[in-house]
Amino acid sequence: MEKKPVRCLLLACGNSLRGDDGAGPWLAAWAAKRFSSTAGLRFVVRMQWTPELAQDLAQAESAIFIDASTLAAPGVALLHPIAPSADSPALSAHHLDAPELLALAQRLYDSSPGNAWLLTIGMGSTEMGETFSAAVQLGLPRACMLLEDTVRGVLSEPQRS
């Protein structure tokens, strides 16, 4: 793979029928609408990140992973850079985390995004339903701001050849 045709790949995961777990797909839909006329972006939304996504990552200059988190306080949006996992990913047919997917792309295609970030928002509830908890509803504007700033930053960088 010589050329990186995608400037920024946004990979969201979550279950939109399980309350706050749907925050990742919601944020991806928000970004897709916000950047609908912007070239160089690609959006992929899945219930889980699976090994097949390694090929998409190998073709992207940058990646932003979006997910709900059980580790952060409900509604708290966090963004941090990530790198490929130092350990070889244990191939799972069901789910890989973001660093494992980056490592898999590097291992299988000898290519992975030059920059990658993980945007999470803490979940308060995974009850059945399509409604977010009050905490997540309050945290979504900050998550949107972080996502928009990151995408704009990626797109303002010179394209690698």
Report whether 89 contacts 103 (CB < 8 A). Answer: yes
pLDDT digits (tens, 9 = 90+) for 48-83: 999 999 999 999 999 999 999 989 899 999 999 999
Report whether 21 contacts 76 (CB < 8 A). Answer: no
Q: Could you tell me the domains of the chain?
A: 6-156 (3.40.50.1450)
pTM listed for this prediction:
0.90
Q: What is the pLDDT of residue 154?
A: 92
- Rounded to whole angstroms, the Cα distance separating 93 from 96 reads 8
pLDDT along the chain (161 residues), means of 10: 75 92 95 93 94 94 95 93 76 71 94 95 84 93 97 85 57
- Rounded to whole angstroms, the Cα distance separating 88 from 11 reads 21
Q: What is the pLDDT of residue 78?
A: 96
Side by side, the strands of the sheet bearing 6-13 are 41-46, 6-13, 60-74, 115-122, 77-81
Q: What is the pLDDT of residue 30?
A: 97
